[in-house]
């Protein structure tokens, strides 16, 4: 994948605590997670009850932060607001490359991220992020179309500044990709009109293995009713949306230990006629959602199939 590059692990023995509200629908939570995950910064993820009615109580220990994501630094400092989190992580980990190194491209990347945080209200209001379906026949409003035009002009400006015609806007994956990945999810999920080049950029962002893993983990949660229904035909998500795996009630499995934890297996899935085991339902269900998103799983089944 174009955006699958991961920096080498940084010398940091301390762990950040990230508080998120949801994976399928919370675009801001996704940004918070990507800025840690994609730059290999050690972190633990904690769920806030965004749709269960417990959000206010869950956020009380993080006050005055009141929205997700929120970040607790290793020294106990709590941060709200994604852009503050991004700048703080970049300050603490200059070697990680969260921002471009060149001053002009770095300034431009900051501009794009700041405008994303403050703008595109029509797009965000009419097209809530969701990672489950691709809607057919969605009709964007004139204001949403104006937001899309603005986004495309900013992306074009970024490429003019960086001199790169494809791939990450500034040549290497940066916080610009972190902040615009949920925008890409809206463009693809609602079938919004952009240029073919920018549609390709969006598809590459969503094809990133970390983004696929985020979506797969989100698919382990069932919602009734679906938070953002549309009276439109729903197609499968275009990347990892069609899974051949299914949960099954019992083994025996090919493997004796979970590919993720190394613990003994207790829960099972079937894929292409073989039974595979996992240490808990979450490990199984995230793999059922998108088996190809998980290198440890694909390496395990590949090793068996090659033997």
Domain with CATH 3.40.30.10 in the chain: 16-96
Hunting for tokens 């190194």 — which residue is that? 101
Which has the closest alpha carbon to 230: 140, 108, 116, 111?
A: 140
CATH class of 103-213: mainly alpha
CA–CA dist 304, 11 (Å, integer):
35
pLDDT (0 to 100) of residue 8:
43
Helix runs in 96-251, H state only: 103-118, 121-126, 142-162, 175-189, 196-207, 209-218
The three-state secondary structure class of 259 is coil
pTM here is 0.94
Which has the closest alpha carbon to 236: 127, 137, 133?
A: 133
Q: Is 93 exposed, middle or buried (0-12, 13-18, 19+ CB in 10 A)?
A: middle
pLDDT (0 to 100) of residue 1:
40
DSSP code of residue 166: S
pLDDT (0 to 100) of residue 224:
87
b/e per residue 151-176 (b: at least 16 CB within 10 A): bbebbeebbebbeeeebbbbebbbbb
Peptide bond preceding 299: is omega within 30 degrees of 0, i.e. cis?
no
DSSP code of residue 92: H
The three-state secondary structure class of 122 is helix
Hunting for tokens 């938070």 — which residue is that? 227
pLDDT (0 to 100) of residue 306:
64
pLDDT (0 to 100) of residue 199:
98
**Whole-angstrom distance between the N-terminal and C-terminal Cα of the chain?**
27
pLDDT digits 0-9 by tens, 31-42:
999 999 999 999
Mean pLDDT by 10 residues, the chain (307 residues): 44 82 97 98 96 93 97 97 98 97 98 98 98 97 98 98 98 98 98 98 98 98 91 97 96 98 98 98 98 97 76
Fold classified for 16-96: Glutaredoxin (3.40.30)
- Region class of 24: left (phi > 0), else alpha (psi between -120 and 50), else beta: alpha
pLDDT (0 to 100) of residue 178:
98
Domain with CATH 1.20.1050.10 in the chain: 103-213
Contact 282, 300 (CB under 8 A): no
């Amino acid at each position: 994948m174009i955006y699958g590059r991961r920096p080498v692990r940084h010398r940091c023995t301390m762990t950040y605590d990230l508080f998120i509200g949801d994976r399928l629908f919370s675009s801001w939570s996704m940004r918070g997670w990507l800025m840690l995950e994609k730059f290999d910064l050690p972190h633990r993820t904690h769920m806030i009850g965004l749709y269960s009615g417990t959000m206010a109580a869950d956020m009380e220990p993080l006050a005055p932060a009141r929205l997700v994501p929120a970040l607790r630094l290793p020294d106990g400092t709590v941060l709200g607001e994604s852009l503050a989190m991004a700048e703080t992580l970049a300050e603490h980990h200059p070697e990680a490359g969260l921002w471009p190194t060149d001053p002009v491209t770095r300034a431009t990347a900051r501009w794009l991220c700041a405008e994303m945080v403050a703008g595109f209200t029509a797009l965000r209001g009419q097209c809530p992020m969701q990672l489950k379906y691709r809607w057919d026949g969605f009709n964007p409003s004139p204001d949403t179309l104006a937001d899309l035009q603005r986004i495309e002009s900013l992306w074009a400006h970024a490429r003019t500044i960086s001199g790169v015609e494809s791939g990450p806007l500034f040549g290497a994956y940066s916080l610009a990709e972190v902040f615009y990945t949920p925008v890409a999810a809206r463009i693809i999920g609602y079938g919004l009109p952009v240029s073919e080049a920018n549609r390709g950029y969006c598809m590459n962002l969503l094809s990133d293995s970390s983004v696929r893993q985020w979506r797969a983990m989100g698919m382990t949660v069932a919602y009734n009713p679906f938070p953002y229904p549309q009276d439109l035909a729903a197609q499968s998500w275009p990347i990892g949306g069609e899974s051949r795996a299914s949960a099954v009630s019992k083994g025996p499995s090919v493997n004796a230990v979970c590919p993720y934890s190394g613990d003994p297996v207790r829960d099972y899935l079937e894929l292409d006629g073989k039974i595979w085991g996992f240490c808990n339902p979450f490990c199984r269900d995230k793999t059922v959602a998108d088996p190809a998103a998980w290198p440890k799983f694909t390496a395990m089944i590949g090793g068996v199939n090659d033997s």
